[in-house]
Structure 1
Amino acid sequence: MNRLLAAAALEARLQARYGIAAVAAALGAVWTLTLVALPAGAADEVAAHLLFLDTAGFGALFGAFLLLFERVEGSRRSLEASPLRPAEGAAARIATLTALALLIALPMAVAALRDRPADLVAALPPVLGGVALTSALLTAACLAAGARSPDLPRFLLVLPPVVAPLVLVPLVHVFGPSGHPLLYAVPTTAGAELIRSGLAGGAGSPPPAAVVYALGWAVLGPLLVRPGAEAPPGRTRPVRVRPRPGTRAVGRGRTPAIVRFARTDLFGTGRDPLLLLLLCSPALLAVGLRLLFPPVSGFVMDAFGFDLRPHAPALVAALVLLHVPMMFGLVQGLRAAEELDGGVLLVLRVSPVSVPAYLAYRMALAGAASLAGLTVALPLSGPSLGGGGPLPVAAVLLASLQAPLLVALMAAFAANTVEALVAAKAVGAVLVLSPVLAWAAPFPWNLAAAVLPPVWAALALPGYDAGPLTPWWCLPLGIAWTAAAGWPLVRRARRRLENA
């Protein structure tokens, strides 16, 4: 027990050091204010979805990224040589990350039930219990996947098939059309139903056997986290040191160093299933939304009397227009952080590829991939989501600029992959909420949200009320504001990478 408490205290300090606790507090404040802004009748339903989809899974990726970073840093070996058992270390990490999820969930539950203060005392135990149960299960699953993955790309490749059933099955059971008892075989279903029933005043509580079954999996979860797998020998991509300018390699010609670096990087991308999947993800996302939007909007209308169709521009802005740049920017930012952890940037100091050229390459690649992805995804999203018409060129160009901005921000403030994920988590909330703010507030009040660069991309999308500002007026204004926000980030990122 003493070892477990000491490990939990160490984990808490570690999470505070990397900013995970600060992001948890900020997200709790953001989601609580969002629920307060909603009508009281809708807040509990929105809170049920947010608590399960976002809050309960808050610590899952952080736990796995910490494990992978410790392996690269070498601290994993010292932990394995200590008296602390692997299951105890995993339990301490799961417990502290679950505590952060509860820190976010408590004010959200209070905000959702503000019109029913008499029900608050009875609702908090099932809501917080469901969040804790779901958080422990998701974090244990991600830790187990990370422990069996030799590096970050392979972890991201195996993550979707591990996590998808734990998220999708409860959605179908609790929030969707099917309530078959066999769906309780996925243990997170009981956690999701506890959250929903607590906010609904106790209606639809899960069977006690399902809760006990889920608790059993939560207790067994730390035992599934085996000692971290090391990268297999011979599988690490070699770092090639290029000759200095003026020294000509045989048969290489005068190809610029950054072009040779990009060719090597992109050739490796072609062999990476994860990145190949990422290149296809905008089209997959758009097709999925096109197929799912009609039945989902019909279900929401029948169940809650709310018509999603008039709000299609806000949905396409949040789910496609700004989500695609976030994906590509996140990958390039994590790649830069991973190469910083692995010492690749040290090699760049003795190669013709300068740090500014490297940073510019990562930013340009994220922007170009976002531009291509949005050009494909927006028309594929279909008329029901605002697609199918002429491509909103101004909105696409402005949205594509958010990907290099995200890369610069992650490089400016993140010294490793864990801090990069912390920065991406914070920016992800901004990218989701900014188009919603611009949609909810009428002109000219929505211009107050334009202090956030992603808002300009949303305002240039057909359906948004930008007053006299046409999309072609939004384009130069948005470019200028994004450049003004990005320039100090680029300068700071360059200094950090050069001094790393």
Structure 2
Amino acid sequence: MNRLLAATVLEARVELRYGIVPTAAALGALWTLVLVAVPAEAAGAVAPYLLFVDTAAFGVLVAAALLLFERTEGSRQALAASPLRSGEGVAAKLSVLTALSLVIAVPMAVAAVRDRLPDALWALAPALAGVALTSLLLLTLCLAVGARARDLSGFLLAAPPAVAPLIIVPLVHISGVFEHPLMYMVPTTVGADLIRWGISPGSVDTGPLALFAGVPYALLWAAAGAVAARRAVERGADSVPPPPTGRGTAARTPAVGRGLLPAVVRFARIDLLGTGRDPLLLLMLCAPVLLALVVRFAFPAAADLLRNSYGFDLVPHAPVVLAVLVLLHVPMMFGVVGGLRAIEDTDENILLVLRVSPLSLPAYLAYRMAVATALTLVGLAVALPLSGLMAGGWSGRLAVALLLAAIQAPLLLTGMTALAANKVEALLVVKGIGAVMALAPVAVWVLPGPWNLLLLPLPPVWPALALPGYTSGPLGTWALMSGGLLVTAVAVAALLRRTVNRIDRG
């Protein structure tokens, strides 16, 4: 017990040092403000989905990234020589990250049930139990997968097929699209129902006895997952295959004395060859098409569901759906991939070697940003019409929206390199910037003009305002293009300066 307590305290300190705890607090405050800003009835309808998808899954990527970072830094070997056991380390991660999910969930749940505060305690109990149960199930699975992964890219490739059923099946169940007793075979369905029962009791058709019977079943899965995670952590470092040929520091560093252009070409060639060996990069190249097809076929079904269940017509709000799910999501995907590659190069000391190579650090960052921007332009050009939400087809305003959205990818990339020193911190930066990129188009859609123009200092606001259907007030097409380019360029320049200074100090 003393060793477990020591491991938990050590884990809490590590997560505090990497900024995980402040990020959790900031996300909790942000989502609480969102729920307070919407009507109480809407908050009660939206909160279960936020609590299940975002809050309960807060530590999923963080847990795996911490494991991989410990392996890179040699912390795993040091812990193996200490009195602490792998099981206690896994239990500490599960405890701290689940506790952080609960910290985020408490104010969100209170905001969602503010119209019945006298019953808030009765609402919080099942809702928080559902968040904790879902968090444990997802964390144990991701720890088991992450311990066997060679690097973060390998985890991001292996985790979605394993995690997707645990997310999709409960979402289909609580949305009412399809309900069947066999869906409770997926253990996270019980957690989703507990969250929904606490926040919106009238929306749950299943009786309390069935939910309470499902809790032990889910706990058995969580216990089995914890055992699997412990065994994977114990054997993970030894069973991980070595990196493929050509991914080492020497192979990925431009040779000295060959000029700037050959150095850039060498980096491009290595990236292209790496794409052929890395299935994750190939998947990301196909991701815009897959995303657009999902939106194209899911939007009509979602519109019918909202109309029939809540009397809400989603069709007039198609522009904001297009902005959130396609226009700003595609640059987010390519920005994250580019940022992770840059962070990976930092971890392997490639950026330090660049100081004595023809390819300077600013030139390297410019190359990474140019690649992310080009891929985003192509991805958006394909995904926007394929999504089926482009009312009226191509126009000058839509072209401006595409251009301004494409330069959000280097903004996210430089945000990761400027604010993160490792992959753990990079994922936290992604969560923060990603939340802003998701909420900005919603905020400028909901706020009446000219109040929505108060959000113009945020770069993601400009491509959303340029999208046909949005109200931009006195700002015409050329004003939106020039203003968006200026605001984004200033933000990228500031982040680039911070990146160079941070690496020079390092």
CA distance in structure 2 between the aligned counterparts of 1:440 and 1:471, rounded to whole angstroms? 21
In the TM superposition, residue 471 of structure 1 has moved relative to its aligned partner by: 2.6
Residues 1:232 and 2:241 aligned together? yes
In the TM superposition, residue 165 of structure 1 has moved relative to its aligned partner by: 0.6
In the TM superposition, residue 457 of structure 1 has moved relative to its aligned partner by: 0.5
Residues 1:293 and 2:302 aligned together? no
Letter in 2 for 1:298: D
SS in structure 1 opposite 2:456?
Answer: helix
Task: Tell me, yes or no, if the aligned pair for 2:150 and 2:242 is still in contact at 8 Å.
Answer: no
Residues 1:478 and 2:484 aligned together? yes
Which residue among 326, 332, 335 is the counterpart of 2:341?
335
Moved more, 130-139 or 224-233: 224-233
Moved more, 180-189 or 126-135: 180-189
In the TM superposition, what whole-angstrom CA distance separates every residue of 1:427-457 from its partner, at most 9, and x where no partner exists? Answer: 0100000000110012111100111010001
Q: Hey, what does 2:451 align to over in structure 1? A: 445
In the TM superposition, residue 201 of structure 1 has moved relative to its aligned partner by: 2.9
Q: Hey, what does 1:55 align to over in structure 2? A: 55
Structure 1, unpaired ranges of 5+: 249-253
Task: Tell me, yes or no, if the aligned pair for 1:379 and 1:387 is still in contact at 8 Å.
Answer: no
Residues 1:145 and 2:153 aligned together? no
CA distance in structure 2 between the aligned counterparts of 1:351 and 1:76, rounded to whole angstroms? 33
CA distance in structure 1 between the aligned counterparts of 2:264 and 2:25, rounded to whole angstroms? 41
Task: Tell me, yes or no, if the aligned pair for 2:51 and 2:131 is still in contact at 8 Å.
Answer: yes
Task: Tell me, yes or no, if the aligned pair for 2:47 and 2:109 is still in contact at 8 Å.
Answer: yes
Task: Tell me, yes or no, if the aligned pair for 2:459 and 2:488 is still in contact at 8 Å.
Answer: yes
* Closer/same/farther in 2, CA of residues 388 and 134 from structure 1, 3 Å limit: farther
Q: Hey, what does 2:29 align to over in structure 1? A: 29
* Number of residue equivalences: 492
Q: Hey, what does 1:365 align to over in structure 2? A: 371
CA distance in structure 2 between the aligned counterparts of 1:243 and 1:280, rounded to whole angstroms? 32
In the TM superposition, what whole-angstrom CA distance separates every residue of 1:84-105 from its partner, at most 9, and x where no partner exists? Answer: 2222211110110010100110
CA distance in structure 2 between the aligned counterparts of 1:95 and 1:471, rounded to whole angstroms? 51
Task: Tell me, yes or no, if the aligned pair for 1:366 and 1:403 is still in contact at 8 Å.
Answer: yes
Q: Hey, what does 1:319 align to over in structure 2? A: 325
In the TM superposition, what whole-angstrom CA distance separates every residue of 1:136-168 from its partner, at most 9, and x where no partner exists? Answer: 111111111100111121111101101101100
Residues 1:114 and 2:93 aligned together? no
CA distance in structure 2 between the aligned counterparts of 1:127 and 1:288, rounded to whole angstroms? 30
In the TM superposition, residue 303 of structure 1 has moved relative to its aligned partner by: 0.7
CA distance in structure 2 between the aligned counterparts of 1:368 and 1:494, rounded to whole angstroms? 23
| TM score, norm. by length of structure 2 | 0.94
CA distance in structure 2 between the aligned counterparts of 1:48 and 1:85, rounded to whole angstroms? 36
Q: Hey, what does 2:355 align to over in structure 1? A: 349
In the TM superposition, residue 235 of structure 1 has moved relative to its aligned partner by: 2.4
CA distance in structure 2 between the aligned counterparts of 1:255 and 1:32, rounded to whole angstroms? 50
Superposed CA RMSD in Å reads 1.6
**Identity in percent:** 58
Task: Tell me, yes or no, if the aligned pair for 1:355 and 1:498 is still in contact at 8 Å.
Answer: no
In the TM superposition, what whole-angstrom CA distance separates every residue of 1:250-276 from its partner, at most 9, and x where no partner exists? Answer: xxxx95211221122222113211101
Alignment of 1:44-193 (within 5 A): 44-193=44-193
Task: Tell me, yes or no, if the aligned pair for 2:323 and 2:441 is still in contact at 8 Å.
Answer: yes
Q: Hey, what does 1:198 align to over in structure 2? A: 198
Task: Tell me, yes or no, if the aligned pair for 2:323 and 2:464 is still in contact at 8 Å.
Answer: yes
Task: Tell me, yes or no, if the aligned pair for 1:190 and 1:211 is still in contact at 8 Å.
Answer: yes
| TM score, norm. by length of structure 1 | 0.95
CA distance in structure 1 between the aligned counterparts of 2:160 and 2:256, rounded to whole angstroms? 42
Q: Hey, what does 2:312 align to over in structure 1? A: 306
Q: Which has the higher helix share?
A: 2
Moved more, 114-123 or 98-107: 114-123
In the TM superposition, residue 81 of structure 1 has moved relative to its aligned partner by: 2.5
In the TM superposition, residue 118 of structure 1 has moved relative to its aligned partner by: 2.2
Residues 1:274 and 2:280 aligned together? yes
Task: Tell me, yes or no, if the aligned pair for 1:411 and 1:497 is still in contact at 8 Å.
Answer: no
SS in structure 2 opposite 1:58?
Answer: coil
In the TM superposition, residue 234 of structure 1 has moved relative to its aligned partner by: 6.0
Q: Hey, what does 2:216 align to over in structure 1? A: 212
SS in structure 1 opposite 2:115?
Answer: coil
Letter in 2 for 1:233: P
Structure 2, unpaired ranges of 5+: none
Alignment of 1:392-471 (within 5 A): 392-471=398-477
Q: Hey, what does 1:251 align to over in structure 2? A: none
Task: Tell me, yes or no, if the aligned pair for 1:73 and 1:341 is still in contact at 8 Å.
Answer: no
Letter in 1 for 2:133: L
